[in-house]
Structure 1
Amino acid sequence: MLTDIVVPSLLGFALLLSGMKVMEIALQRWAGQRLSLWVARSTATPLRGFAVGTAASALLQSSTAVTVLTIGFVNAGWLTLSRSFGIILGTNVGTCLTTELMSLKLHRFGFSIFAAALVGWMITALLYEVRIASAPSKHALTLRYVCLAFGGFGLLLLGFKILQSMGPSLQASGTFDALMRHAADNPVWGVLGGAALTALVHSSAAVIALSMGLAATGALSPEAGIAIVLGANVGTCFTGLVASIGGGRGGRFVALSQLALNSAGALLFYPLIGALHAAAAAISPGDPSAQIAHAQTLFNVLCSLIALPLAYLPRWRKPASISPSA
């Protein structure tokens, strides 16, 4: 039991988290300063903020990084509450890119992607050693960060593949089977579990990828996986709440708004888990893993579109530092 379930689950999840962190760091180092200027200059309206939040989260593969960045901008008075509201809604959509890519079964090429990225990184390292007397060129640095990002993506795919490999062992486990039946009968446990685990590891994509890996082998039902998606959307707010502590009222307002919106979305769609599954199944029939990814995308897009008009309320157009709501 230890070697068949515990070791693969820990190793697979560790590779998932490590891969995502490597991707996040590499892309932040490459685009961090330019991204800050882009966000500050390109959010003239809540709708533009929504587009920027979506693109930035997809680029950095981390809605948490964009959320923390937004809280900092609001505390500095660079963004109004309405613009920050649009960005937060966009991050929920942009974060779906990772799981949608995983639904394409790219894990079959995980090792090849990692190996190619490693070779590319070694080439940039050798080029830098040759030019040790001078700083590496802009293009060499870009290539290095791109290779690191692809290496992280390869690690992520390898972790996903390992998680899938433990499916038969989980299915043979009577205890796990009983837990899954309980979660299927009471989806609220899936929501609570997804929220708690996401808050613990600071990555909703990693938790959803875990559920996708289990669903791909039949160890987890798609409905239970969708319940985990709803919970993960709430748990991802934890990092923003922590980041807002000690900051201005505007930053705390942004963090609490994200929590309120994501919690309201989970409550709204909890009775509609069956409908989300049906819609996702229509897109990818016979593929439980992809169904969870599509359900996440549908859920986040619908929630964000429903909430976006709230950003146009007149009382939110003032700078956050002087807003009475901040």
Structure 2
Amino acid sequence: MFTTIIMPSLLGFAIFMCGMKLMELALFRLGGTSLLNLLQRSTRTPLHGLLLGTASTAFLQSSTAVTALSISLVNSRMLPFSRTLGIILGTNIGSCLTTELIGLNIFHLAKPILIFSLALWGISSLLIESRLFPSFSSWSGNVMLRSIAIVLFGFGLLLLGISTMQSIGPSLKQTEMYSWFLAQSQTTLLWGVLTGAILTACFHSSSAVIAMIMGIAAIDSLPLELCIAIVLGSNIGTCATAILASIGGTRGGQLVALSHLLLNVFGALLFYPFIDLLATAVLWTTDSLPSAIAHSQTLFNIICCFIALPICYAKWITRLDQV
């Protein structure tokens, strides 16, 4: 069990998270300063905030980073609480980009992407050191090309990590614990919601948990309804990082974390009775189970965000800025 399940799972998860962090850091280096300025200038209305939150999360590949940044801005009083609500809604939509890419089943491209990114890094180093291209040795050109190489390398690691985690599927199906979990989930899908919430809270990455579930589901080990329940739970679990980031901060920062939690909890409660309907709807769009899981997360987050968006325009929301 250790060599066939635990070790590949830990190794694959470590590779996946390393790739995610490399992408996050490199992308933030490319556009972090501009993003900070945009967050301050372009959140006049909740709709503006939603669009900005979606774009920035899709760019940075991390809803946690954007949420934590929003809490920091509110704690430093550079942004009022009411102007972060749209951003929080947008982060849920933007985070779906990673799972949608994973759902394309392009894991065979992991090694070519890694090789190409290393080659790009090498070329950038040669050009920077070369006297034939003195203009390229400028700081901006250096940062851009090398950051792109790191983003590609991180994406390659992400795909490689998922492929490694997928390898546990056949062995996992044969364990008693897995059989017990499937038996329990047939009585109530709340087991799936609880599992998704706990795993995401522990790993601090809903993308990693959903990617792991997509990998296992790819070999027909999990029913789609259970996978969707785990997705709902992972949306709740991702709030743990924001709650931790708000501890010891201002009341406004704590309200940002609370609003994030309430959005995802009520969204999960709203969709839980309709998991079967959601599963049927996404199966109309694709025959691939991993893609269906990715589509269910996207559809769930988009609907929840546009249900919650009108509430963000309520006048009592702005009064909380003075509390």
The residue aligned with 1:140 is 142
The residue aligned with 1:279 is 281
Instruction: Answer yes or no: is the 8 Å Cα contact 2:82–2:320 preserved in 1.
Output: no
Shifted more, 31-40 versus 181-190: the winner is 181-190
The residue aligned with 2:26 is 26
Instruction: Answer yes or no: is the 8 Å Cα contact 1:77–1:319 preserved in 2.
Output: no
The residue aligned with 2:314 is 313
The residue aligned with 1:84 is 84
Amino acid in the other structure paired with 1:180? L
The residue aligned with 1:234 is 236
Deviation at 1:49, TM superposition (A): 0.2
Structure 2 matches for 1:74-223, cutoff 5 A?
74-130=74-130, 136-223=138-225
User: How many Å separate the matches in 2 of 1:40 and 1:188?
Assistant: 39
User: How many Å separate the matches in 2 of 1:249 and 1:127?
Assistant: 50
Per the alignment, do residues 256 and 319 of structure 1 end up closer, same or farther by CA in structure 2, a change over 3 Å counting? closer
Amino acid in the other structure paired with 1:89? L
Deviation at 1:123, TM superposition (A): 2.4
The residue aligned with 1:298 is 299
Q: Secondary structure at the match of 2:44?
A: coil
1:168-202 per-position Cα deviation (integer Å, ceiling 9, x unaligned): 22223343233223224321111111111111111
Shifted more, 175-184 versus 200-209: the winner is 175-184
User: How many Å separate the matches in 1 of 2:308 and 2:254?
Assistant: 19
Instruction: Answer yes or no: is the 8 Å Cα contact 2:43–2:49 preserved in 1.
Output: yes
The residue aligned with 1:248 is 250
User: How many Å separate the matches in 1 of 2:259 and 2:193?
Assistant: 20
1:135-161 per-position Cα deviation (integer Å, ceiling 9, x unaligned): 643122111111101111110101111
Deviation at 1:88, TM superposition (A): 0.1
The residue aligned with 1:73 is 73
Deviation at 1:319, TM superposition (A): 7.9
The residue aligned with 2:265 is 263
Sequence identity, in percent? 49
Deviation at 1:130, TM superposition (A): 4.9
Amino acid in the other structure paired with 1:216? A
Deviation at 1:318, TM superposition (A): 5.4
Unaligned runs of 5+ in 2: none
Per the alignment, do residues 319 and 80 of structure 1 end up closer, same or farther by CA in structure 2, a change over 3 Å counting? farther
Q: Secondary structure at the match of 2:249?
A: coil
Per the alignment, do residues 175 and 318 of structure 1 end up closer, same or farther by CA in structure 2, a change over 3 Å counting? closer
Q: Secondary structure at the match of 1:157?
A: helix
Per the alignment, do residues 319 and 142 of structure 1 end up closer, same or farther by CA in structure 2, a change over 3 Å counting? farther
Instruction: Answer yes or no: is the 8 Å Cα contact 1:184–1:221 preserved in 2.
Output: no
User: How many Å separate the matches in 2 of 1:177 and 1:107?
Assistant: 28
Deviation at 1:129, TM superposition (A): 4.6
User: How many Å separate the matches in 1 of 2:192 and 2:2?
Assistant: 24
Amino acid in the other structure paired with 2:182? M
User: How many Å separate the matches in 2 of 1:197 and 1:171?
Assistant: 19
User: How many Å separate the matches in 1 of 2:138 and 2:216?
Assistant: 43
Structure 2 residue 15 is the aligned partner of structure 1 residue 15: yes
Instruction: Answer yes or no: is the 8 Å Cα contact 1:226–1:273 preserved in 2.
Output: yes
Amino acid in the other structure paired with 2:64? T
1:26-80 per-position Cα deviation (integer Å, ceiling 9, x unaligned): 1112211111001111111110000000000000000000001111222233333
Tell me how large the CA RMSD over aligned residues is: 1.8
Instruction: Answer yes or no: is the 8 Å Cα contact 2:217–2:223 preserved in 1.
Output: yes
Amino acid in the other structure paired with 2:270? L
Amino acid in the other structure paired with 2:123? I
Instruction: Answer yes or no: is the 8 Å Cα contact 1:277–1:295 preserved in 2.
Output: yes
Instruction: Answer yes or no: is the 8 Å Cα contact 2:18–2:154 preserved in 1.
Output: yes
Amino acid in the other structure paired with 2:2? L
Shifted more, 169-178 versus 299-308: the winner is 169-178
Instruction: Answer yes or no: is the 8 Å Cα contact 1:52–1:87 preserved in 2.
Output: yes
Amino acid in the other structure paired with 2:315? P
Amino acid in the other structure paired with 2:259? S
Q: Secondary structure at the match of 2:284?
A: helix
